[in-house]
Amino acid sequence: MEQNKLWVVAENVDEGLREASFEVLTEVARLASRRGDQIMVLFCSAPDADVNKIGVELASYGADALLPLEVVPNSSRCVGGAIADLAKECRPDAIFIAETIWGHDVAAWVAAKLRTTLLSNCVELGLGPDQELTVTRHVYSDTVAVKYASLGEQTMVITIQPGLFNVKKAFPGKTINLLERHAAQAQNPDPVQVLGFIKADPRTVDIVDAERLVVGGKGMGTAENYKLIHEVAEILGAAVGGTRVARDNGWVTLDRQIGQTGKTVAPELLISCGVSGAIQHTMGLKETKCLVAINTDKHAPIHKLADLSIVDDAPRVLKEFIAKIKTG
């Protein structure tokens, strides 16, 4: 572990690791290859996780070693504590974490336990004239950039803003040193108890965060018809979005416009009603998992992207759908 000077703490999500963790890893790997450093990835693994498979993937992004952690309980405080203990022992140059909610909390605990500062939400990593690590943070609402360089005596704790760095498998075929699972039992169990989870209200959630969306375009025809979009959204627990035309017509507000000059969404399900599928709109749909298109025009470009194409009058389809649900 000692030869790994750069640590990346990866964050779990249901299907694997978070995209933002790969962004961090790609960027750190770029620096490491210039410095000749080794990277160790740490992640909280479930006992049944296929660490080999995860290792192979992480290696292709540039990781040299993988350390699965098993922390009980796995609150951010205990995870941070376990990482800080390891860091005291191995003295890495820096620990990188994506600035997500979990990432920030873990990083703060690590920094607090190491009694060092936290370089949070960094936007740029680099190397100084003597190959020392440099990081840049934006302060004063993104107007001023401050750059720091490591003096190398202490471990730096750095979180990195998601959504900036492209992910890239720059090291296809690279192999990884899979380390033995590290189990840590916190001495003082975290007294904070998690009791439950409350899902966001789809009516108010930011469409960027919405898991389901119903989107209307010019083909909905009237504001009156647009209410059907809201009704269907209500039924499916979805949020409402719109095209620019829908926004221009005042059917949705700007914060619900999807596309190049609006937002990029990443729902599991998106039902697109009376939308032609102009590229400026569909650029915002890239991350959509499952797309249903309802459009009278069989040749509308949106149909080419859809998992289900319904060539039909959108207001009518929605009306009948609502009726079917209501009558059971």
Partner 1 sequence: MFPRLFTPLTIKNATLPNRIIATGHLTHFASTDGLVTQRMIDYHEARARGGIGMIITESMAVHPTTAQSQYVVHLYDDKVLPGLTELVSRIKQYGTVVVCQLHHMGREMISVDTMRPIVAPSPIMDPMKREVPHELSRAEIKEMVESYAAAAERAVKAGYDGLEVHCAHGYLIQQFLSPLSNQRDDEYGGSFENRLRFAREVIAAVKAVAGDRFVGIRIDGDEFADGGLTMEDVQQIILALNADGLDYIGLSVGHCLNYPTIFPNMDFPLGCFTYLASNIKRLVDTPVYTSHRINDPALAEKILEDGHADMVAMTRATIADPELPIKAKEERIDDIRPCVACLQRCFGRLRMRAPISCLGNPAVGREREFAITPATNPKKVAVVGGGPGGMEAARVLSQRGHKVVLYEKEQELGGMLKLGSSVPNREELFNIARWQIIQLQQSNVEIKTGYEATLNDLRAGAYDAVVFATGAEYGEPSVVFTENVPHINLKQALELADDQVENKNILVIDRDYHNKALGIAEQLAEREAASVVVLSSEVDVALDMESINKMMAYERLNELEVKCLSKAKVERVNGKDFIVSHEGWEVVLPDIDLVVVVDKPKVNTMLAKQVEQELPQLKTYLVGNCASPRLTPDAIFDGYRIALEV
Partner 2 sequence: MKVVVLIKMTTVIRGNPNRAENLEAILDPGNVALDVNSYDLAALEEAQRLKESIDYVHITAVTVGPESAVKALQIAHGMGADELIWVDAQYEGGREMELAGLLAEVVSKQGFDLVLCGLKSDDVGTGLVGIGVAEILGIPAVTRSVKIEILPDGGPLQIHRHVGKGNREVVHCPLPAVITVERSRRMPRYPGVARYLAARKKIIRYAVEQQPGTQVSLRHVETKKAQPRPKKIFTPDDNLSAADRMKMIMTGGMARKKKKKAQSVVSGSEQLYNFLVKNGFLKNKA
DSSP-derived pairing of the beta strands 182-185 and 65-72 = parallel
Q: Find residue 116's DSSP bridge partners.
A: none
Largest CA distance in the chain: 73
Nearest CA-CA partner of 87 in 180, 179, 190, 7: 7
x-or-dash string of contact with ligand FAD, 237-256, rule CB under 6 A: ------xxxx----------
Residues 179-208 that bind partner 2 (CB under 8 A): 188, 190-201, 204-206
In angstroms, give the least distance from the CB of 23 to ligand FAD.
24
Choices 98-106, 135-143, 172-180, 258-266 (CB under 6 A): range interacting with ligand FAD: 258-266
Nearest CA-CA partner of 222 in 319, 134, 147: 319
275 binds, among ligand FAD, partner 2, partner 1, none (CB under 5 to 8 A by kind): ligand FAD
x-or-dash string of contact with partner 2, 239-268, rule CB under 8 A: -----------------------------x
Would you put residue 129 in left (φ > 0), alpha (ψ -120 to 50) or beta? Answer: alpha
193 binds partner 1 (CB under 8 A): no
In angstroms, give the least distance from the CB of 296 to partner 1.
12
**Distance between CA atoms of residues 284 and 300, nearest Å:** 17
Residues 282-311 that bind partner 2 (CB under 8 A): 282-283, 285-286, 290, 292, 294, 304-311
In angstroms, give the least distance from the CB of 61 to partner 2.
12
CB count in 10 Å sphere of residue 167 = 15
Q: Could you identify the residue written with the tokens 């405080």? A: 77
Q: Which two three-digit tokens encode residue 19?
A: 């995209």
Is 301:282 a contact under the CB 8 Å cutoff?
yes
In angstroms, give the least distance from the CB of 164 to partner 2.
5
**Distance between CA atoms of residues 288 and 266, nearest Å:** 5
Identify the burial level of 61 via C-beta atoms within 10 angstroms of its C-beta, where 0-12 means exposed, 13-18 middle and 19 or more buried.
buried
Backbone angles phi and psi of 124, in degrees to 5:
-155, 140
Number of residues that bind partner 1 (CB under 8 A): 9
Choices 1-9, 81-89, 144-152, 279-287 (CB under 8 A): range interacting with partner 1: 279-287
Choices 64-72, 210-218, 228-236, 276-284 (CB under 8 A): range interacting with partner 1: 276-284
Q: Binding residues for ligand FAD, per CB under 6 A?
A: 217-219, 243-246, 257-262, 274-276, 278, 280-281, 284, 294-297, 300, 313-315
Q: Binding residues for partner 1, per CB under 8 A?
A: 165-166, 260-261, 279-280, 283, 298-299
